[in-house]
Structure 1
Amino acid sequence: MKFSNEDSSQVYDYMNVLSSIRRKVLYRGSSELDEFNLNSLRAGINLQLKEVDVLSDITNDDIEKMENQAKLNKRKKNPYEPTKKLNEMKISLTYMEWYMTGQKRKGCGYYDGYKNPKTREEIVGQQEILKHQGRLNQYWKDIVVEKDRMPQKEGAKLRKRWLLGGNNYRRIVEPLDIAEYYKKGNVKYIENRPNHYKLLEKWLDEDKDSNSSEVTRIKAASLTEDSCFWAHVEEALILLRNMVNGGSINADKELEEFEAYVMREIENYAVSPDVFLKGSSLMTWWNEYKAYKGTAYASEFARYMNKASYDSYK
């Protein structure tokens, strides 16, 4: 397994999110929202939030701000706006973020909650998210292919706004693609990783290298920066279980490299705190690894986990 660090700012633009929601809302009758006594735009917002099960997490002040932004956007609307499609994709990405928030509120991580839905409600919510996931994947695959074929000067990799938006998409959506991949019993995701993800990451790294100013992170990332993090976890689980069952006798070194990789990500605040939630794939791996290694095993990562230092990781 090969591991690398990544450090870049999280940029998320909600421009035109609400105006698009207004166009897409299905009016299901007033009875469902009688208690809100809201106008049609506000009612539509609440219906969409309820659909992805995050209505209770969004304050009235937040909705009012978003509604005001939508009205402002409408007044400024330019029919020749070249970023219209990008803004439409941000609608789908917003739903993905709301879904993520809902999973965390339920106490299960974004990755594992998606991979292993436990209730009918969670399965229905996942089906809705799959629609947005599919739209986003198709859009960014097309964009990356188009830009990669252009002459370097004309394509300029991806313009800054697309570059940041594309890598925000990568961090949110690729973990779900990884979940689907391993759920089907596949292995070695990174060797079979879709090319558009690799290029988005490569272009971001090149842009970062050309930028002399680098900000040191002082708190945990809201999104795990390495979008292949869960693929590394899955491979570590497979290696460990094969070794325990006698299928591999040379995996100790690779598992220790995996330990070191996770520890680097922690020290760089590059993983989201939800990776340490009880029942997450990482915690499952750690508990099985600790049982295999025994209580006398010592390493920097083992000390961190045995002391439950992750409880203060924020």
Structure 2
Amino acid sequence: MADERLGERLNISEELILESLSLNAQKSPGELFLVKQYGPSDVVFSFPAGSLSVESYYSGGGAFGEAKADLKLFPSLRSIGNYDPAGKPEEKDLATATINQAFLNKFKHVLENPQLIAKVQEAINLGMRIIFTGHSVGGAIAALATIWFLENFPRESVFCVTFGSPLIGDHLISHALRRENWSQYFINFVMRYDIVPRILLAPLSSIHQEFEKIIPFFDPYSPNYANQSIGSSPEALQLFTNVMSNASSVASSAASKLMGSPNLLLETVANFLELSPYKPFGTYIFCTGNEKLVVLKNPEAVLQLLFFTCQLSNEGEWGTIASKCLNQHLGYKKELEDSLEMQSATYDDHLETVALASDGIFDDLGLSARARQCLRAAGVFEEQKQKNKGKFDSKKEEMKIEMKKLQDYRDYYEHNEGYYDAFKLQKNRNDFEANVTRLVLAAIWDEITEMLKKYDLPDEFEAISEWVELGTEFRHLVEPLDIANFYRHAKGEDTGVYMKRGRPKRYKYTQRWLEHKLKLAAGSRGESCFWAELEELHKLSGDLPAVNKEKERVLNLQRQVGQWIEHKVLREDVLKSSTFQQWWSKLPNDLKTNPILGLMNGSGSMQV
């Protein structure tokens, strides 16, 4: 946690940070955004908060103004493995990020302005770095603009710098941004007592009346903007109390999960009290109020600090806390000018070693022993995720050795009936040995998918190229054997069709990884499970009316297999399988199409 120049650590200069803040301070009636070039290589897009109301923060049907992310606009804001395109709506919701509906609506309105895209494209054409920035609600819009930019221009240079921004979504946004290696581009400055970054930790029902009276204080277009009588009002104190009461529940619940010791009282309360879904993401820089900065990248640690840094030192502070929690939202300029000049910053490189007693590192935020314990737990939790990954990293060589056995097994049957049919018949000893290998590999991958389901592996795991490639090779080699085993034992009679009820998560997850990496449509790389569709269609062989009824499936399977062979994601020797040949030979001639027709006749024709 040694001192280091902030600009060097963040890869954005202190001067540009202050310039962004200055642009945010400009009033811009009717403007959706402001654009200004700084120096030869940077252009800043500032999003004003605009005229504010309670509906600027809370809209939609959720208690916290939340709604599910629009995956057409933000396709990355989901869990890759856990998101099942064919799953039930409630299952999809669990794997799709939650976003504040009011902020999303406002961003969509900004995006409708053709000038935004035109100005962004102009900056890209000039090879300039783009900085999206905003204060208050403007910061939330800047964050959404940055995510949109990264979705559409992932190779371009961008930063998001916010000041006093409210939270915009749940843990899946942080998960997705870290997975895509985008989290590093988000920098959020927060004053120690600023209420706005914490406001959405409370449901609207608990603060509606107070917030409605307080919000003119934050509205630059209101005659009561920065009115100190509002800051010292009973409503301000009640707003602070209610927000922090809810923040306490959120932080305590999160800390309990981090420490692996469920609090029965909290679980009981949670059954009656809905907790806020909002979680931080990116780099957070806490301004202590005495020209020092604390920099954290661990989202769980940031959530704890959003609660613990607002704790009172003594009862005498109650008289000033309400005014302070409002005034600090408007005081970023002076605080940052002084703090950035002093260059006194602390970083969260090793939270797992945070001292529980005062040690000078977090003293400027007034952290209690309990707060330090929660920070340490956040560090240990992140460290444990890395250890879990290390456990599987150490098994990669073992997995490659086991897969080599199956590669040899596949090659052994290449010029005979094919390894799919050989495994299904289980006549020889090497078929038995292949089954043992299949089970060894399946056990490892089942453990991986179970950890991914619970988010117990690092967020970036599903996007690591080596693991995507390993998962793809595993799927290509082993899933055909799983399908052969499924139909050999007629498991469909009990569980239903393989693709609907029998397909294990280990294959669904690894297929989704590849499709996400290659930016392909969901389900487009199902070459490893085409055998299941083949088996279902093979059951219809000899029943001409039934075959004709499934004409589209018959034609589609031939088309897909031909394309996969052409693109070398499926080996041509699958056509030598007795199962494939028996099915295809019994098809009516008018249903036999290229490219399979050419391949089966030995012409090698690959016309599609």
Q: TM-score, normalised by structure 1?
A: 0.58
Match in the other structure for 2:598:
304
In 1, the alpha carbon distance for the partners of 2:596 and 2:393 equals: 48
1:93 aligns with 2:403: yes
8 A Cα contact 2:463 2:517, kept in partner: no
SS for the counterpart of 1:154 is: coil
TM-aligned CA distance change 1:302 to 1:165, over 3 Å:
closer
In 2, the alpha carbon distance for the partners of 1:181 and 1:81 equals: 30
Write the letter of the residue equivalent to 1:196.
R
8 A Cα contact 1:141 1:196, kept in partner: yes
In 2, the alpha carbon distance for the partners of 1:104 and 1:82 equals: 31
Match in the other structure for 2:534:
233
Structure 2 residue runs without a partner (length 5+): 1-389
**Percent of pairs identical after alignment?**
25
TM-aligned CA distance change 1:310 to 1:179, over 3 Å:
farther
In 2, the alpha carbon distance for the partners of 1:225 and 1:197 equals: 9
1:166 aligns with 2:471: yes
In 2, the alpha carbon distance for the partners of 1:282 and 1:203 equals: 28
In 1, the alpha carbon distance for the partners of 2:424 and 2:592 equals: 32
In 1, the alpha carbon distance for the partners of 2:591 and 2:452 equals: 49
Match in the other structure for 1:189:
498
1:274 aligns with 2:579: no
In 2, the alpha carbon distance for the partners of 1:254 and 1:134 equals: 31
Structure 1 residue runs without a partner (length 5+): 1-79, 211-223
8 A Cα contact 1:171 1:225, kept in partner: no
SS for the counterpart of 1:239 is: coil
Match in the other structure for 1:217:
none
In 2, the alpha carbon distance for the partners of 1:144 and 1:297 equals: 39
> What does 1:43-192 correspond to in 2, within 5 Å?
83-104=393-414, 107-118=416-427, 122=428, 124-150=429-455, 154-187=459-492, 188-192=497-501
Structure with larger Rg? 2
TM-aligned CA distance change 1:138 to 1:249, over 3 Å:
same
Match in the other structure for 1:260:
559
SS for the counterpart of 2:516 is: helix
TM-aligned CA distance change 1:298 to 1:238, over 3 Å:
closer
Q: Please state which structure has a larger fraction of its residues in helix.
A: 1
TM-aligned CA distance change 1:167 to 1:115, over 3 Å:
same
Match in the other structure for 1:74:
none
In 2, the alpha carbon distance for the partners of 1:81 and 1:297 equals: 50
In 1, the alpha carbon distance for the partners of 2:391 and 2:489 equals: 41
Q: Which segment is superposed worse, 125-134 or 109-118?
A: 109-118
TM-aligned CA distance change 1:83 to 1:234, over 3 Å:
same
CA apart distance, 1:280: 2.3
In 1, the alpha carbon distance for the partners of 2:414 and 2:424 equals: 14
1:287 aligns with 2:585: yes
TM-aligned CA distance change 1:112 to 1:162, over 3 Å:
same
Q: TM-score, normalised by structure 2?
A: 0.31
In 1, the alpha carbon distance for the partners of 2:471 and 2:442 equals: 10
The alignment covers a number of residue pairs equal to 210
**What RMSD in Å do the two structures reach over aligned CA positions?**
3.3
TM-aligned CA distance change 1:255 to 1:207, over 3 Å:
same
Q: Please state which structure has a larger fraction of its residues in strand.
A: 2
In 2, the alpha carbon distance for the partners of 1:138 and 1:298 equals: 39
